[in-house]
Amino acid sequence: MNTVDWMKRVTTDETSWRYTGWRVAIASMIALMFGPSTVAILSFGVFIGPLEAEFGWSRTQIALASTIVSYSLMLISPLQGYLVDRYGARAVILPCIPLFAVAIGLMYFLPPVPLIYYMAWVMIPVIGVGIFPLSYLRAVSSWFDKRLGLAIGIANAGIGLGGAVLPLILSYLISVHGWRWGFLGMAALVLVVTFPAAILFIREKPGTEPRHLSEARIGGLTFKAAIQTGQFKMLAAIFVLLGLINTALIVHQIPLLIDAGVSAERAAVVQSTFGMFVIIGRVATGWLIDFLRAPLVLMTLVLGATVSCLLYAVGVTGDIVFVCAALLGMVLGAEFDVLSYLLKKYFGMQIFGKLYGVIYAVFQFGAGAGAALLPIMRQASGSYRSGLLTFAGATLVCAFLLLLLSRRNDATELRVDSSVPSRG
């Protein structure tokens, strides 16, 4: 093999780290660190205490914004799926980043008016519709077949990195300058970190852009046929339950730890531990599902979340809280790796965005319900215990559904994209 042939091989072989797709995956990871998933969801809990202290609002009132974000996402996720399938990921991502940064920065001027507060949290996800993970995952998935799981895991790890780093940055800014500077700091990070990464590196593999897929009509099923399959219906049910559990625990992890007697500073470190294990969960799950059945990998991690809910329910306060945060982080790290992998495996790339958008919408429906339910149950009972026990039961149901999904005979029910590995 001469030098020219060797160079061609290493730059087009996805098993080589010189492959262009890995640059797209790493850039997506960097962009997602300070995307709306971390800014508007994972870091929301840091603002609950300061807003409660300054405006005198109840915790339930403040946390309602998380439910509003979830239901706004439920409505706009199918739109995002349509846009990325129609125009491509890059065309959707680039205009949304600066607009999202401006929207977050304007929270600096938030007055003590609940209606304005709630309307702001309606508009923020709408303005950032193009930069939720789906857009980046579509771009990354277009580059990979053999290492699809690992590539998705690396891209999604950005959410975990943001979840680990951003609460610490915000805690410092809020303690020194106040919560308004926390929003300004997030806006600056979106512009300085996310925008350059997207401009320089985020793009789909040549020949897999929407116009080429429409012309070639390669792989997968039609959207109508796909949503009628048993696999899609089971995925929808699984992600409703995952949404119910995960978002509520992310938002309320710091407050529930403080209620149990953990200091605010220690609770912030626990939240950062959670973020670090999201990273581990992203990459480890991505690597594992290239070799093992994806639903079984996720099922194992969901059972870990059951343990975490039960431990939090009994009010643990020692070092075991870091174990609880790690178990929850692993689940959050796994869920959308598995979803992205299975959607491409079952249905191909042509309708990837639309299907992901629908599943993400039902996930957010569950997230909104869970984020509202947990503080309501706390207010009614005086503690988070009853809500956490309810969530533990939901995780068991979710694990059972994943077991059933792993046993379905994919080959007889779906026309699978033959370029994707057969493990699922």
Q: What is the pLDDT of residue 298?
A: 95
Q: What is the pLDDT of residue 39?
A: 79
Average pLDDT over residues 227-235: 91
Q: Give me Rg for the CA atoms of the chain.
A: 21
Q: Which residue has the higher pLDDT, 40 or 328?
A: 328
| pLDDT category of residue 218 using cuts at 50, 70 and 90 | very low
Tens of pLDDT, residues 178-217: 999 999 999 999 999 999 999 999 998 887 666 555 444 4
Q: What is the pLDDT of residue 3?
A: 39
Average pLDDT over residues 124-144: 91
Q: What is the pLDDT of residue 247?
A: 75
> Is pLDDT at 266 greater than 70 in this prediction?
yes
Q: What is the pLDDT of residue 378?
A: 85
Mean of pLDDT over the chain: 84
CB crowding 218-232: b at 16 or more within 10 Å, else e: bbbbebeebbebebb
CB crowding 339-369: b at 16 or more within 10 Å, else e: bbbbbbbbbbbbbbbbbbbbbbbbbbbbbbb
Pick the CATH number of 10-413 from 3.90.930.12, 2.60.120.10, 3.30.200.20, 1.20.1250.20: 1.20.1250.20
| pLDDT category of residue 238 using cuts at 50, 70 and 90 | very high
Q: What is the pLDDT of residue 7?
A: 37
| pLDDT category of residue 11 using cuts at 50, 70 and 90 | low
Tens of pLDDT, residues 70-113: 788 888 889 999 999 888 899 999 999 999 999 999 999 999 99
Q: Which residue has the higher pLDDT, 249 or 235?
A: 235
> CB neighbours of 125 closer than 8 A, spacing ≥ 6?
36, 40, 69, 72, 73, 76, 132
Side-chain half-sphere CA neighbours of 268 within 13 A: 18
| pLDDT category of residue 423 using cuts at 50, 70 and 90 | very low
Q: What is the pLDDT of residue 419?
A: 41
Tens of pLDDT, residues 166-181: 888 888 899 899 999 9
Q: What is the pLDDT of residue 411?
A: 40
Q: 350: helix, coil or strand?
A: coil
Tens of pLDDT, residues 395-411: 999 999 999 998 875 44
Q: What is the pLDDT of residue 240?
A: 93
Calculate helix-pair angle for 133-141, 320-347, nearest 10 degrees: 50
Q: What is the pLDDT of residue 92?
A: 94
What is the percentage of the chain residues whose pLDDT exceeds 90? 36
Q: What is the pLDDT of residue 42?
A: 66
> Is pLDDT at 150 greater than 80 in this prediction?
yes
**Lowest-pLDDT choice from 33-47, 113-127, 293-307:** 33-47
Q: What is the pLDDT of residue 157?
A: 85
CA distance 404 to 406: 5
**Lowest-pLDDT choice from 30-34, 162-166, 355-359:** 162-166
